[in-house]
Chains A and B, each alone.
Chain A
Amino acid sequence: MKRIIKIQRLTGDFAENKDIAKKLRIEKIMPFLLKGDEIIIDFKEVDGVTQSFIHALISDPIREFKEIAFDKLYYKNANKDVKEIISIVYRYMQESLDNNGE
């Protein structure tokens, strides 16, 4: 099953509220991944995000679900800044997975 999460609706055009990221992670992303669903995180009309927001949104899913998270998480309509921040979080989370023997 495909799930779509629209970020702008919850955060406005600049996504920095980590409480919203945490809520999305706990209530949507983690349970959907557990079910094996594909998740499309849609950044349409989001101009910017903080690294903290993206970390709070996806670091735990990556740590917990590893390959499943990499396979099932998709990012749509992300502008180049948003793409860059998501890529940064991907890189350091993979580095830390190796590092922690996870």
Chain B
Amino acid sequence: MKIFLSNRGNLRNFKSFTESLDLSNPKKLEISTHDKWVTVHPANLVLTAALAMKVGKENAKIVGKVPDTGRYLDRMGLYKLTRTPSPFVYSKKEEAGRFVPIKVIRSPQDQSRFITDVIPLLHLSEKNATVVKYVIGELVRNVLEHSFAEDGAIVAAQYYKRANRVSVGICDTGIGIWRSMWDNWRPKNDLEALKLALTPGITGTTRREGGTSENAGAGLFFIKSIAKISRSYFVIYSGPAEYTLLKYDKRVSGMPRLYGNPNRDHHNETNTSAKFQGTLVAVDISLDETPEFNDLLTSIGEVYHQAIRERKKERYRRPKFI
């Protein structure tokens, strides 16, 4: 497998990143970077980390010239997952920053510890920390419950001061979305499976409205909605399918309108990326644009409820006019 980390590693360009992946030869991983400047989003990092863990440290290496900006890969812990020693030397002081390096979460207890001990590294206000805890809490739990991934959930996050934005990436090398939706929904391809997973009230665990005692099919819809309301990107990638929620136009005033149907959101999609055995979810949260969490929940809750009602109406029996 080969991964190229470019100088345009952000969610807007994530589709081109997934299309550039070479996932053949799954026993080895070669990571290369742009030779002059490398920029990675936590999404690029966790996907690379997940594949490095999958092949094992001895079979993963970073090759070619890595520019100075590549020291970020070291700070985030990528070198430790490969057999390539880090060429970067820096003082401990430089290491401080508002980021969460690559972490592996294997159990609900790990998850709770992560949320309690690690999120504070981002030094967010209480209001913003609640949003980030919420996002990570829901996404990691999805991995632990549905992915059957041996390596658990691989998580990284970064606070970008200039943009006043938090970016989060969560990845696993489990069964993927299509397989987890298959038993109850029979999606015809991976892209359809992604869209089902994003639809409020649809869970892979049942077809019953209201879900099971454990799952309601709300998690991903909530996270996508948080991204939309904060006018940020959201990405989900599994198998060859990738869906990117595009940024809501900042010139349009008022709270962005939410839709239950992911097709109605301004997005990019593909079903022809490199086939990734697992799932990646990434989200940007623009803190300038994030309203009070309560207002955000109210809006999301209303759309969620409305989506369930609409689906219910679709199933009403119709009179037989002859």
A residues contacting B by CB (< 8 A) are 11-12, 14, 16-19, 22, 25, 47-48, 50-53, 55-56, 59-60, 63, 80-81, 84-85, 87-89, 91-93, 95-100
The answer, yes or no, to whether B259 is at the interface (CB within 8 Å) is: no
What are some 7 contacts across the A-B interface (CB < 8 A)? A12-B116, A14-B130, A16-B111, A16-B137, A88-B300, A88-B305, A92-B201
* Pair B308/A84 contact, Cβ less than 8 Å: no
Q: Nearest-CB distance from A70 to chain B (Å)?
A: 15
The answer, yes or no, to whether B148 is at the interface (CB within 8 Å) is: no
* Pair A59/B108 contact, Cβ less than 8 Å: no
* Pair B301/A88 contact, Cβ less than 8 Å: yes
* Pair A99/B141 contact, Cβ less than 8 Å: no
Closest to A102 in B: B210
Q: Which residues of B contact A55 (CB under 8 A)?
A: 211, 214-216, 218
* Pair A51/B138 contact, Cβ less than 8 Å: yes
Q: What CA separation (Å) do A25 and B116 show in the bound complex?
A: 23
Q: Which residues of B contact A92 (CB under 8 A)?
A: 201, 210, 216, 218, 304-305, 308
* Pair B210/A93 contact, Cβ less than 8 Å: yes
* Pair A18/B141 contact, Cβ less than 8 Å: yes
Q: Which residues of B contact A19 (CB under 8 A)?
A: 108
Give chain A's interface secondary structure class: helix
B300-314: which residues lie under 8 A (CB-CB) from chain A? 300-301, 304-305, 308-309, 312
A14 in complex: contacting residue of B108, B115, B308, CB < 8 Å: B115
* Pair A14/B305 contact, Cβ less than 8 Å: no
Q: Which residues of B contact A87 (CB under 8 A)?
A: 301
Q: What CA separation (Å) do A53 and B111 show in the bound complex?
A: 13
Q: Which residues of A contact B94 (CB under 8 A)?
A: none
How many chain B residues have a CB neighbour from A under 8 Å? 38
Q: Which residues of B contact A52 (CB under 8 A)?
A: 137-138, 141, 215-216, 218-219
Q: Which residues of B contact A91 (CB under 8 A)?
A: 301, 305
Q: What CA separation (Å) do A45 and B134 show in the bound complex?
A: 17
Q: What CA separation (Å) do A11 and B109 show in the bound complex?
A: 10
A59 in complex: contacting residue of B134, B141, B210, CB < 8 Å: B210
Q: What CA separation (Å) do A50 and B134 show in the bound complex?
A: 6
Q: Kindly supply a per-residue 1/0 record for chain B positions 289-304, scoring 1 wherever the CB is within 8 Å of any chain A CB and 0 otherwise.
A: 0000110011011001
The answer, yes or no, to whether B125 is at the interface (CB within 8 Å) is: no
Given contacts A16-B141, A18-B108, A52-B137, 20 further A-B contacts (CB under 8 A): A14-B115, A18-B145, A51-B216, A51-B222, A52-B138, A52-B215, A52-B218, A63-B210, A80-B294, A81-B130, A87-B301, A88-B297, A88-B300, A88-B304, A92-B216, A92-B308, A95-B305, A96-B308, A99-B308, A100-B209
Q: What CA separation (Å) do A81 and B301 show in the bound complex?
A: 12
B200-227: which residues lie under 8 A (CB-CB) from chain A? 201, 208-211, 213-216, 218-219, 222
* Pair B133/A14 contact, Cβ less than 8 Å: yes
- With contacts A18-B108, A18-B141 known, is A95 near B216, CB below 8 A? no
Q: What CA separation (Å) do A85 and B115 show in the bound complex?
A: 19
The answer, yes or no, to whether B112 is at the interface (CB within 8 Å) is: yes
Q: Nearest-CB distance from A99 to chain B (Å)?
A: 4
Q: Nearest-CB distance from B50 to chain A (Å)?
A: 22
* Pair B111/A95 contact, Cβ less than 8 Å: no
Q: Which residues of A contact B304 (CB under 8 A)?
A: 88, 92
Q: Which residues of B contact A51 (CB under 8 A)?
A: 138, 216, 218-219, 222
Closest to B115 in A: A14
Closest to A84 in B: B297
Q: Which residues of B contact A53 (CB under 8 A)?
A: 137
B297 in complex: contacting residue of A11, A17, A59, A81, CB < 8 Å: A81
Q: Nearest-CB distance from B197 to chain A (Å)?
A: 14
B33-85: which residues lie under 8 A (CB-CB) from chain A? none
Q: What CA separation (Å) do A14 and B112 show in the bound complex?
A: 9
- With contacts A17-B112, A52-B141 known, is A96 near B208, CB below 8 A? yes
